[in-house]
């Protein structure tokens, strides 16, 4: 007999979608991605609002991470990968030849599944971006920026007395908050998160989810997650992908309680996945 998974509980912030009529922060139009002959992403068009959390969900291999990587041109670094279509960031075409991918990645930061602090001190992990982008040159200015970023990432209290210690010596959850502090330090507009909690225990996961909730007041956050419960807890919009296509998108509450497409219904009730 087929059993259905319980519908995830939609979080308290999930219905607080940005006001209708706000211009989208990110506008994707007819985006196709190929890895050699593999047509991995098929004609995806999607608007992503600013200052809120958008979750990408869908079965393994459906193209969630591929689409996420399009938003800061990380796919440029994969040999054989070809991206077609248009992605606008506040209306600027991020694939225009005039756009420098390194500067773009300061505007659009990324947090990966496995925490990846640099093999440097906690301080230097956070100071690295502002230094290379020339955002802060004075010692006191940099100190203040490191402190503010660590506070914003909810890590300052745990590390303020050991800033010279290696970032890699922190716990997994602390490392992920350090990586988030590193992303925040260059004052990005968008933070992409690719399964940011999948290597963490439930307590560390809860802290990252609280942090995401907090950061959404300032940043446009896009999160790929395998956990429908997590998508329901943290996001205001959800986009469901299946076999390389975007099936449907809408307010998270609607996607989890009243999806329009049978494929979404089957996924959220655990019949596929
Ligand atoms: N670096 C790569 N090189 C070649 N093919 C890739 C690469 N990354 C992804 N693909 C292919 O693109 C398709 C989409 O993969 P992608 O990782 O984007 O899906 P996903 O929904 O994020 O999957 P998962 O949930 O398992 O992480 C798959 O067919 C995958 O094999």
Q: Write the pLDDT tens digit of every residue in 174-196.
A: 999 999 999 999 999 999 999 99
Provide the residue count of the chain: 273
- DSSP code for 219: S
Q: Is there an atom of ligand 1 within 6 Å of 61 CB?
A: yes
Residue 56: predicted pLDDT: 98
CA proximity to 24, closest of 53, 46, 7? 46
Domain ranges of the chain: 26-268
ipTM, 2 decimals? 0.98
Query: Whose CA is closest to 200, among 172, 225, 168?
Result: 172
**Pocket perturbation via mutation, ligand 1, pick of 64, 224, 227 by most ligand atoms within 8 A of CB:** 64
Phi, psi of 34 (to 5 degrees): -120, 135
Using the mean position of ligand 1's atoms as its centre, give its distance from the Cα of residue 245 in Å: 13
Task: Please tell me the CATH superfamily of domain 26-268, with its number.
Answer: P-loop containing nucleotide triphosphate hydrolases (3.40.50.300)
- Condensed to tens digits (0 to 9), the pLDDT of residues 117-153 reads 999 999 999 999 999 988 888 999 999 999 999 999 9
27 pLDDT above the threshold of 60: yes
pTM for this model (two decimals): 0.92
Closest C-alpha to ligand 1, atom 5: 35
**Residues pairing with 48 in the sheet:** 26
> Residue 36: CB within 6 Å of ligand 1?
no
Of 33, 36, 38, 56, the residue with max ligand 1 atoms within 8 A of its CB, to mutate for a pocket test, comes to: 38
Atom of ligand 1 nearest to the CA of 56: 21
Query: In the predicted model, what is the mean pLDDT of residues 228-253?
Result: 97
Q: For a ligand 1 pocket test, name from 33, 36, 40 the mutation site with the most ligand atoms within 8 angstroms of its C-beta.
A: 40
21 confidence band (pLDDT: 50, 70, 90): low
CA–CA gap between residue 4 and residue 273 (Å, rounded): 12
**Residue 258 Cβ < 6 Å to ligand 1:** no
Give the Cα-Cα-Cα angle 150, 155, 157 (nearest 5 degrees): 105
The pLDDT assigned to 23 comes to: 84
Q: Which tokens hold the place of 209?
A: 């989810």
* pLDDT for 19: 53
249: which strand partners? 239
């Amino acid at each position: 007999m087929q059993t259905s998974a319980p519908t995830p509980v939609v979080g308290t912030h999930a219905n607080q979608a940005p006001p209708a009529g706000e211009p989208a922060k990110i506008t994707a139009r007819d985006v196709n991605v190929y890895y050699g002959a593999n047509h991995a992403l098929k004609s995806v068009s999607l608007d992503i609002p600013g200052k809120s959390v958008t979750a990408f969900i869908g079965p393994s291999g459906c193209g969630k991470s591929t689409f996420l990587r399009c938003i800061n041109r990380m796919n440029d670094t994969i040999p054989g990968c070809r991206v077609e279509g248009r992605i606008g960031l506040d209306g600027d075409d991020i694939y225009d030849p005039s756009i420098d991918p390194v500067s773009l990645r300061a505007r659009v930061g990324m947090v990966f599944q496995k925490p990846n602090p640099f093999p440097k001190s906690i301080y230097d992990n956070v100071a690295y971006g502002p230094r290379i982008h020339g955002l802060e040159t004075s010692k006191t200015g940099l100190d203040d920026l490191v402190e503010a970023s660590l506070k914003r990432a909810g890590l300052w209290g745990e590390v303020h007395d050991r800033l010279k210690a290696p970032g890699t010596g922190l716990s997994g959850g602390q490392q992920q908050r350090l990586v988030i502090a590193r992303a925040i330090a260059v004052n990005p507009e968008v933070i992409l998160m690719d399964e940011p909690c999948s290597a963490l225990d439930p307590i560390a996961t809860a802290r990252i989810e609280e942090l995401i909730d907090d950061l959404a007041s300032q940043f446009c956050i896009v999160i790929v997650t395998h956990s429908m419960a997590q998508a329901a807890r943290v996001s205001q919009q959800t986009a469901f992908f299946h076999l390389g296509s975007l099936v449907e998108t809408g307010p998270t509450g609607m996607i989890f309680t009243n999806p329009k497409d049978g494929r979404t219904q089957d996924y959220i009730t655990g019949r596929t996945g």
